[in-house]
Homo-oligomer: A and B are copies of this chain.
């Protein structure tokens, strides 16, 4: 029985969407998959990948992310309002931004925005549903109340 590596799995994913599995694309996708909860910016991905691919350019990161978005492999979130955060998200979900520490959490809500909802609203045909929350996260709340050790 043949072992299937993670890279081979990602390669197959790219090919199935009609994207050539270049080293740059595979590395960006692997980073997004491993760090999926970090919701990085293009710049963060670029900085992280320079160690592995010293010649990579920010243009390639943007090209790659655009291609992934177009094929629906990743999603883009504008939750912070200052830059786009990218998310490798096989399962649709919403987000929570902590206004204190800046961390973005995935949230799986029971009654998600759009659940038991028709695919139209006021006659408009819905293709995408985005929902996000802002506030103080669990961790920062605990720190505030002196619960951190």
Query: Measuring CB to CB, which residues of chain A are less than 8 angstroms from any residue of chain B?
Result: 76, 78-79, 81, 84, 94, 96, 98-99, 105, 107, 109, 111-114, 116-117, 121-138, 141
This chain: copies in complex: 2
Contact for A81 among B84, B98, B109, CB less than 8 A: B84
Residue in B closest to A115 when the chains form the complex, CB atoms: B111
Supposing A78-B81, A81-B76 touch, asked if A122 and B107 sit within 8 A by C-beta, the answer is yes
Do A127 and B135 have beta carbons less than 8 Å apart? yes
Do A105 and B124 have beta carbons less than 8 Å apart? yes
Contact for A111 among B116, B125, B127, CB less than 8 A: B116
Contact for A130 among B123, B126, B133, B136, CB less than 8 A: B133
Do A132 and B135 have beta carbons less than 8 Å apart? no
Supposing A81-B78, A138-B122 touch, asked if A127 and B107 sit within 8 A by C-beta, the answer is no
Do A130 and B134 have beta carbons less than 8 Å apart? yes
